[in-house]
Amino acid sequence: MSDKVSPLRRPAPDGGSALTAEVAGLIVEALNLDVKPADIDPEQPLYGEGLGLDSIDVLEIALVVSKRYGVQLRADSEENVRIFGSLRKLVDYITAHRTK
């Protein structure tokens, strides 16, 4: 067995900041938000307080993320609360599961 880490599982060389900015931009664009992507705090909750998204918003984000990164997200998954807990958590999930 090889000790090499799959490039799909490796953390981004820049600590994920480029991907974080990209995903923030996708969220703003997909939901037509009146906020700049750079103004989204990566640690701030996406649901309710924080960015103020609802379940329909999260479904839209899941669709965009799935198309863009090949990440499979299910609407009925119990993991969604964790995955969409913050921008940082979503980016970490994409980094670990992306196929594109």
The answer to whether residue 90 is domain-embedded is: yes
Q: What is the predicted pLDDT for the residue at 83?
A: 92
The answer to whether residue 1 is domain-embedded is: no
How many domains does one find in the chain? 1
CATH number of the domain enclosing 38: 1.10.1200.10
DSSP 8-class letter at 37: G
The answer to whether residue 40 is domain-embedded is: yes
The answer to whether residue 35 is domain-embedded is: yes
SS3 68: helix
- Under a CB-based contact definition with an 8 Å cutoff, are residues 52 and 82 in contact? no
Query: The whole model's pTM is what?
Result: 0.80
Range of the domain at 48: 17-97
Q: What is the predicted pLDDT for the residue at 81?
A: 86
For each of the chain's 100 residues, which pLDDT tens digit applies?
A: 444 444 444 444 445 689 999 999 999 999 999 999 999 999 999 987 888 888 899 899 999 999 999 998 887 788 888 999 999 999 999 999 998 8
The answer to whether residue 2 is domain-embedded is: no
Q: What is the predicted pLDDT for the residue at 5?
A: 41
Q: What is the distance between the alpha carbons of residues 44 and 14, in angstroms, rounded to a whole number?
A: 20
The answer to whether residue 92 is domain-embedded is: yes
